[in-house]
Structure 1
């Protein structure tokens, strides 16, 4: 793929995507914009100061570093001139001028769904994110996320486990995987799909990069699903950007006292689609896929509380009946069940090993919904 003038413009230090796109439209092509002098740019609408900054050349070190990075066969640049450039991203107000890609660029043009959320999800939130990633990939949709710790990583892992496809979007250069703990995951994502970024090689991590990364996640997908998010989570920025781009916003509800549920509940109050499983996502963003998915002939229980593991002893069944989906302390469970503290503690351990109960911070416990169990 010949990046040409688009890459030249993307590497210029002061030529932002919005300004460049405006000049490309005014002057007729990226080649004309890249070769324009200051008077031409001023005639096209830029102030003298902005025109002077626009023509600043690409730093030699950056040019050499980018050329060296592109020498590998699985490293390439995708620009708006390429067929594999995400078509949905082109419809946004400031699409990236270049995407640095590691992996298979063909997946960028596939329909996708973003799955984002807390960097410190609950055990059930992590399991659900992984389940959504796995099921969306099996349905043939690209799972897009930010390769962050927590929810992002879980969604990518689910998609990788299903054989992909998945795309990870970085907030730094393609040679600076962040966080470092996810280097192996990034390699797996590139093998099952692609890792992309608009930041050229050598670009480090900066706080201002993540909103720019989030706009790509939101802009290239059919919809954004938020699994868990606090009220000041970056995932809510992604959701807002998705809504501004005219894409669907979906959110998973959670326990009312959980801080990581508040962001999702706010989104639902504001009109986001409530998500309990992958079918809710498919019905919203890809109804044709949802209609084609086979369904089981088995009847589902009317609630997760009605579905209990077989063979539970009476006391364990009694304790389970005292547990809800919001974490409870051992003291509360002792009081509710009438069992001794030692009995309750021992049974909680056994139920957790069976995947029926999960622990929460502070020595509390809650039930696991049957649909969330692997």
Structure 2
């Protein structure tokens, strides 16, 4: 259940959400001090403990101190109006607590977690879905819900929406991870769906109310979908889709990836087919997933009777043995150079005219021993980080500190470097340089 909050508690959590510290450092502070108020109190002192034990820089201390007086009246009003609560790490489903440095420090929530959410499966895919993909995502949502599983996705239009609606239509639970404050519905056409999810599951966000959706929020929210899920199903995705990077992240965290084959002439089929070639489990029905995960459940399904236009229910029992091993998505997925999103890159990063941009050409690679000039198509923050990247992995915190950037702009610039093919994200928020131009 969401943390019961007094006005003072809610104010403190909101202020901490604006501190801009790396997530794993915020978690460490909360583990040690127990509450945002105590963290702020420690920062108000000389900060020796925070510097020595938690490696908080002077800049980080300044941000914590500034948060103490931050005006969050609008955000508080939104929390009351929209019944937004806070859940802390010890209240997360157990799988979400097992993704190392990717574990959120805390989450804003509409709705609540349930014990049933220990059995969650993620469904992701493109926003530009076909009718075939929509039907499959909805059907999978219905059947998983009837089998007792919670369905996790990202509330985006397309496959996400179909999966959420299927779970609800199947009488089950569904969880949505969003890339904005929970008083904002994005996309706006999902307002009614968000209300339904709140009543039969949870809508989650790391961002305080009134925070608009931004490009760099989407990679972060997708790690939550992966963290919640025992397996991730990719229904439709183009070959350069963010859903494939989500699949790679899932494999990194030992989640089994299932890919649904499709029409070989449709671009939406190319992503799943690529995943299958790289070792993902081929999925033709929900039974494939349940058998792999070793489910033994009873549920009600609607089946056609012999009489036309009439329907009846009958119990179906699924018994299976867990298969050994887990699918591993190949190296090619890890180097696609897109954010960890459930949508195509062009859905997330429109140009200033509102139209989808042309994908940048792949960078020319030089031999390891050759010197090369920096790429010419980088924004200032991207260039600063590009020059700091090395063949050896560097942590995002080190890069942010070396570049004198806040966590948000650092993440955004690194996402763009991934898209342009100049950086690759490794487990544990490590980054390496992957290409140079000549």
TM-score of the aligned structures, taking structure 2 as reference length: 0.61
1:194 — aligned with what? 202
SS at match of 1:242: helix
Choose from 53, 56, 66 the match for 1:46: 56
Note closer, same or farther for the CA distance 1:68–1:8 as it changes in structure 2 (3 Å cut).
Answer: closer
- 2:144 is the counterpart of 1:166: no
Aligned partner (choices 208, 211, 235) of residue 216 of structure 2: 208
Asked whether the 8 Å contact 2:178–2:205 carries over to 1, the reply is yes
SS at match of 2:176: strand
Tell me what 1:19 maps to. 25
Tell me the equivalent position of 2:161.
153
Alignment of 1:278-297 (within 5 A): 278-285=286-293, 287-289=294-296
Match of 1:7 in 2: 13
Q: Is the 8 A contact 1:8 1:58 kept in 2?
A: no
- Within 2, Cα distance between the matches of 1:263 and 1:206? 25
User: What is the distance in 2 between the residues matched to 1:223 and 1:76?
Assistant: 27
Is 2:112 aligned against 1:132? no
Q: Deviations over 1:243-292 (max 9, x none)?
A: 1222111111112232111111121122211110101111223x1236x5
Find the aligned partners of 1:58 and 1:97 in 2 and give their Cα distance. Answer: 18
Cα distance in 2 for residues equivalent to 1:265 and 1:199: 34
Report how many aligned residue pairs link the two structures: 292
- Once the two structures are superposed, residues 87-124 of structure 1 have per-residue CA deviations (whole angstroms, 9 ceiling, x without a partner) of 21111123222222212332684320001111111111
The question of 1:267 aligning with 2:275 is answered yes
Find the counterpart in structure 1 of residue 241 from structure 2.
233
Aligned pair 1:64/2:73, yes or no?
yes
More helix by share: 1
Q: Which runs of 5+ in 2 are unaligned?
A: 305-438
Distance 1:178 1:51 in 2: 33
Please say if residues 102 and 223 of structure 2, whose CA atoms lie closer than 8 Å, have aligned partners that are also in contact.
no
Residues 171 and 236 of structure 1, relative CA distance in 2, 3 Å threshold: same
Using the TM superposition, give the Cα deviation of residue 74 of structure 1 relative to its aligned residue in structure 2, in angstroms. Answer: 4.1
CA distance in 2, matches of 1:160, 1:295: 14
Which residue number corresponds to residue 226 of structure 2? 218
CA contact (8 A) 1:21 1:94 kept: no
Residues 86 and 109 in structure 1, CA contact (< 8 A), matched pair in contact too: yes
CA contact (8 A) 2:93 2:113 kept: no
Runs of 4+ in 1 over 6 A off after TM superposition: 293-296
CA distance in structure 2 between the aligned counterparts of 1:293 and 1:269, rounded to whole angstroms: 33
Q: Name the CA shift for 1:170/1:295 in 2 (closer, same or farther; >3 Å).
A: closer
Indicate the RMSD between aligned Cα atoms, in angstroms: 2.7
Unpaired stretches in structure 1, ≥5 consecutive residues? 299-374
SS in 2 for 1:56: helix
Matches within 5 A, 1:56-95: 56-58=66-68, 60-61=70-71, 63-72=72-81, 74-82=83-91, 85-92=92-99, 93-95=101-103
3-state SS of the aligned residue for 2:59?
A: helix
**TM-score of the two chains, using structure 1 as the length reference:** 0.71
